[in-house]
Amino acid sequence: MAEVVDGEFTAFVHERGETLLRIAYALAGSQHGAEDLLQNALAKAYARWPRIRGDAEPYVKRILYHDQVSRWRRRSHRAEVSVAVLPERAAERDLGQDSDLRLLLRDALRQLPPRQRAVLILRYLEDLSVEETAAALGCRPGTVASQTSRALAKLRELVPALDELTTFQEVPR
């Protein structure tokens, strides 16, 4: 029995590990953090494999996001830590240079609080709707909208060039 479980689990990780690692990386923002986040989620999946084997990938993703939000909860009780070096501001850049904007945005994403980043990743990496994102995070759609809005406000603060792409429009609660 144990060999069957090990075999199924190993096959699952070989097949889906890279995809899950990409999500974990986007959540954690670093290779080390991503591997730790994913290892933890996979270990939990293995420990209860007989019960989740048909639903393993959604299970692992839920753990990834849940752990990420947990970290946010833990950090919400701490003083804000200032960033030693601010990202380069893009106000004077040529907006036609999309790759520059993407680069700045990518760096700014790393500075978002974990929960806000988690919401953006669910919405824009996994292409989930607001309702699906709320279900995955165990919160209400209004919270997803407000977190998205806060994330955007922070990104605009860090990358002013983002503002120049569009007319500002708040995400409704």
Partner 1 sequence: MSAKTEEALRAAVRDLADEARSAPELAGRALRRGRSLRRRRRVIAAGAALAAAAVLAGPFVWLRPDPPAGPARWAAPPGTATPSPTGPAAAPPPAPDWTRSPLALPGGWVLTGASSTGTPAELGYALDRSRGRYVTSRYEETWAAPRGGVAAVVDYERRGELGLLDLGTGKVRWVTVGSFIMTPHWSPDGRRLALTLMSKDSGAFSLGVLTVGTAEYRAFPVDGERYLCTDQCFFTWSRDGKEVALQQTDPGAALSESQPHPRRGVQFFAPDDGRPTRFLPVKGDPDGPWSWSPDGRSVVVKGPDGPRLTEVATGRTIGPAPATDAAWVADDRLLYRDRRANEMVLVDLDGRELTRQALPPALGADTTLAVAPR
52 binds partner 1 (CB under 8 A): no
φ and ψ of 76, to 5 deg? -65, -15
DSSP codes joined into one string, 84-137: SSPPPP-TTS-TT-HHHHHHHHHHHHHTS-HHHHHHHHHHHTS---HHHHHHHH
Closest separation in Å from C-beta 62 to partner 1: 10
Nearest to 114 by CA among 159, 153, 165, 151: 151
Contacts of 166 (CB under 8 A, 6+ apart): none
Distance CA 21, CA 18 (A): 5
Binding mask 53-72 for partner 1 (x = CB under 8 A): -------------xx--xx-
Which residue of 83, 86, 106, 129 would you call a contact of partner 1, by CB under 8 A? 106
Closest separation in Å from C-beta 85 to partner 1: 18
Which residue of 56, 90, 101, 118 would you call a contact of partner 1, by CB under 8 A? 101
Binding mask 113-152 for partner 1 (x = CB under 8 A): -------xx--xx--------xx--xxxxx---xx-xx-x
Closest separation in Å from C-beta 77 to partner 1: 6
Binding mask 22-51 for partner 1 (x = CB under 8 A): xxxxx--x-x--xx--xxx-xxxxxx-x--
Which residue of 57, 132, 153, 160 would you call a contact of partner 1, by CB under 8 A? 153
